[in-house]
Amino acid sequence: MLTVRAMGKAPIFLISAVIAGGIIAYFGWLASPPPGVSIDDTCQPQGVRASFSASHNGKAYWGWQLSEARRERISWEDAPASSARQYAQHRADMAPSMANADRIIAETNAMTENMYKKYPSLGPSPFSPAAKRAAELRAMADAIEREDEIAYWEKRAESHRLERIETLTRCEKLISAQRLG
């Protein structure tokens, strides 16, 4: 026969305490300022947590956002120098690999040319001076396209950097004047 016993008040109290603690912890997390800049391009809180923190903490939230916006703006302003150093280091690090790749391509082209000279029927056409010149021009065009693509992405990155600096500067002024003033 199945017997049911009363569990007593201890487990119910424990379960209630755990649930209440979880709710308190959640609202504590929700009310705490989010890490980093949590304002959008219009300088308003971005997301539920940021909005709740702004309404709950008021000036403390905006003081935190002001210091975070300044920190991020300074980081973006320092970005060109650090990016240039990183890019130069990357190029220096990649130079041996690029030289090795260029050497392998030159060796492969020489082997292919020798094979076509030895077995002309295998080649698309004899390696004439015009065909060699066309291959050189294609390689030059590829190099120009690579440099253009790098320049394009660098220009986009710089545009984004300048826009972010402008937004953060505007938000800093707005926060200082309206939220903390």
CB atoms within 10 A of CB 41: 13
- pLDDT tens, position by position, for the chain (181 residues)? 555 555 555 677 788 888 888 898 888 877 777 888 889 999 999 988 888 888 888 888 899 999 999 999 999 998 876 676 777 777 778 878 878 888 898 898 889 888 888 887 777 665 678 877 888 898 899 889 988 888 888 888 888 889 999 999 999 999 998 877 6
Report the half-sphere exposure of 77 (CA within 13 A, side-chain side).
Answer: 11
pTM of the model: 0.57
Torsion of CA 49, 53, 56, 57, to 10 degrees: 170
34 DSSP assignment: P
